[in-house]
């Protein structure tokens, strides 16, 4: 394919200033609210200017290499990406992860629009790198990194993918009730929910849960657990890890099956016992969730599709 006719999708997001304006209708009202709290409104304005300058510069660079479609992240769940599309994400790490889960292997270039403000494990490039990186990617001369994803399938056919992690549990601060099965093990739980992590997400929420468990126990972790806690596990691992938050032992609930590995031949299965408050969401996006209520079965496994990051 001629690179100049390739579809390039530039994924962007609203700035904090734009979100404030949506909430308060005008810049002046937003400024009054922020300054009334004693915060620095000029920081919001500076971030907004820097980000939109980066968006314009990115579009200019990308138009030299193909047809550019700017896509706000709010439309990601319903956007159909062309199989040969090149995807450029301009934002923080979370936007890269949120984009990857809606793709089927299309390469993603993560661009940091404001290096002075944001770190970025998934943002190796700056806007000024885009022309060279895009050209090299289209020519197949850039290294690529596979990212394993998780998938949850419900017994009614609904499914959801995750790049970082899945949360299965209650909608609010009440106990989740469910039956959990892994291989031959089966228990009934009352807990704060279950976290299933990919390798990419293993240094985030999953890591904090391990640190809390080790700290509460007061015991030195095993070498394997310490390595997992310190470094996570590979982004392209052929497995997932799960851990149960705050499991509660009682006459009818157990706490033996609270940590483990989910492999291709051994999915994790949960059956909800929550009347009307169970949910499943991925990558911290609570608004994009599945209902997980009484009698519904969820099967969590390694996804067949994976993400692809340009290095």
Domains of the chain by residue range: 3-142, 149-303
Span 34-54, pLDDT tens digits: 999 999 999 999 999 999 999
Closest CA to 46 of 123, 122, 113, 126: 113
In CATH terms, is domain 149-303 a member of 2.60.200.30? yes
User: What is the rounded average pLDDT of the residues 110-117?
Assistant: 96
Who's near 11: CB < 8 A, 6+ residues apart? 71, 72, 73, 76, 87, 88, 89, 90, 91, 95, 99
Q: What is the mean pLDDT of residues 71-76?
A: 94
- Confidence bin at 2 (pLDDT 50/70/90): low
| Apex 213 CA angle, 208 and 214, nearest 5 | 100
Q: How far, in Å, CA of 245 to CA of 86, rounded?
A: 38
The encoded tokens of residue 72 equal 């706000």
Cα distances from 14 to residues 21, 52, 137, 186, in angstroms, run 11, 10, 27, 44
User: Which of 2-11, 20-29, 177-186 has the weakest average pLDDT?
Assistant: 2-11
Q: pLDDT tens digits for 98-109?
A: 999 999 999 999
Kindly report the CATH number that applies to the domain delimited by 3-142: 3.40.50
């Amino acid at each position: 394919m001629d690179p100049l006719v390739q579809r390039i999708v530039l994924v962007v997001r609203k700035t904090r200033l734009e979100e404030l304006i949506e909430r308060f209708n005008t810049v002046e009202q937003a400024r009054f609210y922020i300054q009334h709290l004693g915060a620095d409104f000029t920081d919001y304005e500076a971030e907004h200017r820097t980000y939109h300058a980066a968006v314009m510069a990115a579009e200019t660079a990308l138009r030299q290499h193909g047809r550019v479609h700017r896509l706000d992240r709010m439309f990601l769940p319903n956007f159909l990406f062309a199989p040969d599309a090149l995807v450029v994400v301009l934002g923080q790490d979370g936007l890269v992860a949120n984009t990857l889960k809606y793709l089927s292997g299309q390469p993603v270039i993560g661009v940091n629009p404001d290096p002075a403000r944001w770190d970025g494990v998934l943002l190796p490039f700056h806007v000024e790198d885009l022309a060279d990186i895009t050209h090299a990617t289209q020519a197949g001369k850039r290294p690529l990194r596979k990212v394993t994803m998780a998938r949850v399938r419900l017994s009614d056919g609904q499914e959801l993918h995750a790049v970082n992690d899945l949360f299965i549990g209650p909608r609010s601060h009440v106990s989740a009730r469910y039956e959990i099965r892994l291989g031959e093990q089966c228990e009934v739980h009352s807990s704060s929910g279950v976290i299933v992590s990919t390798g990419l997400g293993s240094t985030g929420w999953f890591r904090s849960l391990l640190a809390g468990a080790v700290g509460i126990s007061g015991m030195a972790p095993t070498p394997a657990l310490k390595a997992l806690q310190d470094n996570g596990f590979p982004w392209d691992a052929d497995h997932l890890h799960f851990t149960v938050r705050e499991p509660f032992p009682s006459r009818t609930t157990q706490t033996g099956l609270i940590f483990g590995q989910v492999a291709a031949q051994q999915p994790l299965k949960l059956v909800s016992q929550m009347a009307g408050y169970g949910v499943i969401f991925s990558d911290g996006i609570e608004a994009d969730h599945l209902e997980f209520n009484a009698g519904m079965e969820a099967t969590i496994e390694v996804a067949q599709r994976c993400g692809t990051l340009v290095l």
